[in-house]
Structure 1
Amino acid sequence: MPDLPAHEATRALFVETARHHRVGPLAHVLLRELEPDLATEFKIDRDTAIANHVSTSITLDAIGQILDGLAWATFKGPVLSEHAHPVPGLRIYHDIDILVSPHELRQAATRLLDAGWTVADFRDMLRNVDTPGEMHFISPSGTLIDLHWSMINMASTRRQFSVSTYEILERRVTVPLGLSSTWALDHTDALTHVCLHAALTGAHRMLLILDADQLARQTADWDSVVARAHHWGAQTALAIVLARSSALLNTPVPENLDGALGISTGLRMVTNAVDRIAPVPALRREASLARLVARSSRPGSGGTLTAVGTRGIQGVAHRLATSRRQPTHLHREPADTAALEAYLRAVETHAGVTR
């Protein structure tokens, strides 16, 4: 239970910070008995999370029927909400992530379109020469899904890691969700991906740290997790995220985890210093040193430290360029049939699919 002064400004800051870290629904549960007035501030967060999860469960059941016979799995949002959250069903998420193989992406997209779903991307997004690892659909009821053929969206980042969609789908498992069941990642893939995803987005929100904590607490076979991290090139991401989780939430991890992951003393000194200077719970904005370091996660300590310096310089240059640039309002065209075909062909070329 947080010790909150009665000062109105402090309590308002607490509400703002909890929402920034996307833990408003949990704050409601934590506060409703001892601080009912403050808990009321978060009631809408809790109600929204519950309604979203119920709606998503229904949509996932429909997706299962649409994609029946294809190899697919959902990950992140709904599965974490139900199976890796302190209060099941209260994790905040805004879309459904679906993974299919590059070989079956065209078939999955065609089935969704035939079922009345619409493409949510713009034309330039689907024609991007650095083919994104996902495209987006909206269901007839308005639910957004990210349809992935790769777990990593940006081509430049994808090349840094070895995350095979085919291997992940071979290991998929069924889990209960809502009143039905769905395909999901196996536990080792789920924990490794949660850490990699958190790191690549900055590991700067408590919700992402909490995801790692909850999955780590369910882990019995750490040798498999370490092996998967090495195979994917995600050792640094795993080390950074689980170190923050252990420091903030007392997550139980093996004492020799850094050694097993090959994390150098130099890198650990840097990450520990950053976490002291810019602790995640105190962050209330996107830009931060903690986010910079986590997003620089690369296979090997040397590659990560190099990426930290490179990203720092690029960030300064970007901010300077942005401050000098006049605002522009480009007219973006919704994706059409030709753009969709261009995207599907690019994915198939990338995967070596012959048609």
Structure 2
Amino acid sequence: MEYYQKVIIDILNASVNNKNIVFNEENGIDWNEVIREAKQHKISSLIYSAVDKDSLKYIDDNILAEWKKDIFKDNVTQIRHINNISQLVNNLNKQGIEIILLKGLVLRELYPRPEYRTMSDADILVKSKDYLVLEDHLIKNGYECDKENHPVHKCFMCSDHSLIEVHWKLINDSYFNGYTEKFENDVWKKSIEFNISGAKCKTLCDEDLLIHMCLHMAVHAKYRGFGLRQLYDVAIFVKNKNIDWVSFCSRISVYGISKFTKGIFEILNQIFDLNIPKDILKNQYISQQEIQLLLNNILASGVHGQKEEIVGFNISYKDRSDESYSKYNVKRLFKFIFPTRAELSYRYEYAKENVLLLPIAWIHHAIRGVFIRKYGFVKMIKYYLATLDVINRRKEIIKIFEL
């Protein structure tokens, strides 16, 4: 762990425990790195709000002014986002469409200020029988439905509004070895009332919400990683809620994420001083080396799991049992150098229209990579190797934590 990352964790620890943290010049903090990392994990407002204001004098005035401006813009965007979702909920209530708000829409109420919990989309759950009615309502109100076929949700986009991810199912079964059907069946029966800026709706009960967070992190750990914001979500939730740990542990064992959840809780105990009961998942042994591996992956991932990956290399990792991993990496590299027609950008439209021109597009693509693009050939190789390191680490995590 780098020093600036330790500083960020110390600041988040103070925030979780509703304190401000004081720094002085002797701390030798590289605030450029701290601010950059905070932006990567989408926690800038959290970091700024938990630092004692006298400590900010050690940041260059221009850097501080730019940071404040970015935070202000983020906060305004999030307030607008909350208001948009509140209006949507009110409209759905008038039509008798029942929904459950998920993840950040609910967790933000536990943050020092709701707008500090940044979101680029809104996740809602609807009953299967109501999905088409909800889809029709969104389309009539200016939203477009993403054409991508996903087994558990659809995305809806509208200008000047946040993306809305409508779930009819919470868990993508292809990611888990455990039995999650009962979880899906019971969430509506156990859902509780929730209020978002005056609009009444529902959310998951506390235990289900915590389980859903853990399941969601497990998906991201397997698929593309997750960052410090998700850890803070769990920390602030556990800090403010009374969880029936016996019931919780019994259920996540059924869902097949016991060891992974144990790893997350070990990290939370260590970096946020949460004092989650030590006998939680006590039958799952995890070494400190494995804990560090998981934490390093979280630090390296950023909020959406791709901080150390670049476009072109970040083809989603899939655990493959039918061939060696090294062969799969060679295929990834080959696919990057020789993309298919569908994967080529608008710049290579000529090859999309005529397959015979595809080899010319590959040469064009290679020349741009070596001589024109800002990272050049050397950096391209460097980024590719860094990405492979991230993916190899992810593969190890999948094996260790039985995902």
TM-score normalized by the length of structure 2: 0.64
Match 2:289 to one of 269, 273, 280: 273
Match 2:180 to one of 155, 162, 175: 162
Letter in 2 for 1:323: L
Structure 1 residues 67 and 278: CA distance shift in structure 2, 3 A: closer
Equivalence for 1:208: 230
Q: What are the within-5 Å matches in structure 2 for residues 220-231 of structure 1?
A: 220=242, 221-231=244-254
Q: 8 Å contact 1:133–1:148 — kept in the other structure?
A: yes
Letter in 1 for 2:103: K
* CA displacement at 1:179 relative to structure 2: 3.8
Equivalence for 1:283: 300
Is 1:82 aligned to residue 109 of structure 2? yes
CA deviation profile, 1:51-83 (whole Å, cap 9, x unmatched) = 233222222223223433233211112211123
Match 1:248 to one of 262, 271, 275: 271
* CA displacement at 1:144 relative to structure 2: 0.6
Equivalence for 1:12: 32
**How many residues in Structure 1 have an aligned counterpart in Structure 2?**
300
Structure 1 residues 54 and 9: CA distance shift in structure 2, 3 A: closer
Distance, in Å, in 2 between the alignment partners of 1:17 and 1:284 is 11
| Rg comparison, structure with higher value | 2
Distance, in Å, in 2 between the alignment partners of 1:139 and 1:18 is 28
* CA displacement at 1:45 relative to structure 2: 4.2
Q: What are the within-5 Å matches in structure 2 for residues 143-222 of structure 1?
A: 143-153=162-172, 155-157=173-175, 160-163=178-181, 164-202=183-221, 204-220=226-242, 221-222=244-245
Match 2:67 to one of 15, 38, 42: 42
Higher relative contact order, chain-length normalized (CA < 8 Å, sep 6+): 1
Letter in 1 for 2:247: S
Structure 1 residues 283 and 170: CA distance shift in structure 2, 3 A: same
Equivalence for 2:139: 113
* CA displacement at 1:162 relative to structure 2: 0.4
* CA displacement at 1:41 relative to structure 2: 4.4
Match 2:153 to one of 116, 129, 134: 134
Question: Between the two proteins, what is the percent identity of the paired residues?
Answer: 17
Distance, in Å, in 1 between the alignment partners of 2:131 and 2:41 is 33
Distance, in Å, in 2 between the alignment partners of 1:112 and 1:172 is 24
* CA displacement at 1:27 relative to structure 2: 1.5
CA deviation profile, 1:236-275 (whole Å, cap 9, x unmatched) = 332222221111111231121023xx42x2xx12xx3133
* CA displacement at 1:8 relative to structure 2: 9.9
Letter in 2 for 1:174: E
* CA displacement at 1:208 relative to structure 2: 0.8
Distance, in Å, in 2 between the alignment partners of 1:283 and 1:5 is 27
Is 1:235 aligned to residue 262 of structure 2? no
Runs of at least 5 residues in structure 2 that lack an aligned partner in the other structure: 1-20, 308-315, 345-403
Equivalent position SS for 1:283 = helix
Distance, in Å, in 1 between the alignment partners of 2:329 and 2:32 is 30
Runs of at least 5 residues in structure 1 that lack an aligned partner in the other structure: 289-294, 297-306, 333-355
Distance, in Å, in 2 between the alignment partners of 1:139 and 1:228 is 38
Equivalence for 2:330: 320
Equivalence for 1:353: none
